[in-house]
Amino acid sequence: KKKRKYEQEQEHEAVTKRKKKKSKRERTPEPISKGHAASKETVGTESCGAARSKGSGGGGGLQKNRESWKSWQEGRDLRTGAFSAAESQRVVSKFHTFLEMKCVTLETIIEDGRKNRGFWLEFADFVGDRTIRSLYNHVLRHVQNHKTGAWTEDEWLSLKKLHEVHGPAWKQISSEIRRSAESCKCRWRKGSEGQYQRGKWSQDEEALLLLAVQEVAC
């Protein structure tokens, strides 16, 4: 009888322990996996960025763009290290092409600097194989030798004379006037507003054009 009673007590104690362990497991939250933790962190970051971007001022936009820089580079196979001479030439050439595509002057990009984070992100996407920061630093080092700021009257007169000689060869004009090609082109357009007629050509204008072409051909 004593033996039987001892066995029953041992069995009861074992059952009690199992119940306590089960109850403890139910109260303890499951560990968060690394992937799930990263997901929650990302959501939190986006929420903060969205909240800041809704506020007044430029701080929210800058923060959002900083996050965009980082997210754009994630998972991309981007080159690192020094730029070769050929790559440098290619990147700077693409930069000037991109400025024309976006109708933005070099002066605006230089003066506003990192405020134009959206521009640099799009440019990095245009180039495709370099980090945004490396492109930002490299390009500005190679294009900041041009003069920026308001044009003087003497510069405008020089631009008109150079345009008479070279026509719309803005890179050639840029090298002589020490202004960026984009700046020369924009200043010419601005200075030429109102000097030329737009719209359909009249019969007299067509006749004069034909006469001028014939004279040049002869």
118 and 83 inside one domain: yes
Of 143, 164, 196, which residue is a domain's last? 143
What pLDDT does 148 receive? 67
203 part of a folded domain: no
C-alpha dihedral, 155 to 161 to 163 to 169, nearest 10°: -80
* Separation of alpha carbons 136 and 143, rounded Å: 11
Q: Which two three-digit tokens encode residue 147?
A: 């003069």
pLDDT digits (tens, 9 = 90+) for 102-113: 888 877 777 665
Q: How far apart are CA 142 and CA 89, in angstroms?
A: 10
Own/partner pairs, 136-139, CB within 8 angstroms, 24+ separation:
138/83, 138/88, 138/91, 139/91, 139/92, 139/95
One domain, residues 110 and 132: yes
Assess whether pLDDT exceeds 80 at residue 213: yes
Q: How far apart are CA 95 and CA 101, in angstroms?
A: 10
pLDDT band per the 50, 70, 90 thresholds, residue 25: low
Determine the residue type at 108: T
Chain mean pLDDT for the chain: 71
The pLDDT tens digits of the residues spanning 110-124 come to 766 556 778 888 888
CA distance linking residue 92 with residue 89, whole number of Å: 5
Residue 22 in any domain: the answer is: no
Query: Per the domain annotation, does 200 fall within a domain?
Result: no
164, part of any domain: yes
Taking Cα atoms as reference points, which of 138, 107, 104 lies closest to residue 118? 104
Are residues 163 and 134 part of one domain?
Answer: no
Closest to 76 (Cα-Cα) out of 139, 121, 140: 121
- Tell me if 86 is assigned to some domain: yes
pLDDT (tens digit per residue) in 72-86: 777 788 888 888 889
For residue 175, the domain's CATH number is 1.10.10
Q: For residues 183 and 120, give the distance between their C-alpha atoms in angstroms, rounded to a whole number.
A: 19
Cα torsion through 122, 128, 132, 135, rounded to 10: -110
Predicted local confidence at residue 30, as pLDDT: 47
Please check whether residue 148 lies inside any domain of the structure.
Answer: no
Q: Is residue 96 part of a domain?
A: yes
What is the per-residue pLDDT for 65? 56
User: Nearest CA to 125 among 138, 135, 115?
Assistant: 135
The C-alpha atoms of residue 67 and residue 200 are separated, in whole angstroms, by: 49
Within this chain, do residues 157 and 129 fall inside the same structural domain, yes or no?
A: no
The parent domain of residue 163 ranges over: 153-188
The verdict on residue 91 lying in a domain is yes
- For residue 141, what pLDDT is reported? 77
Task: Please tell me whether residues 139 and 163 are part of one structural domain.
Answer: no
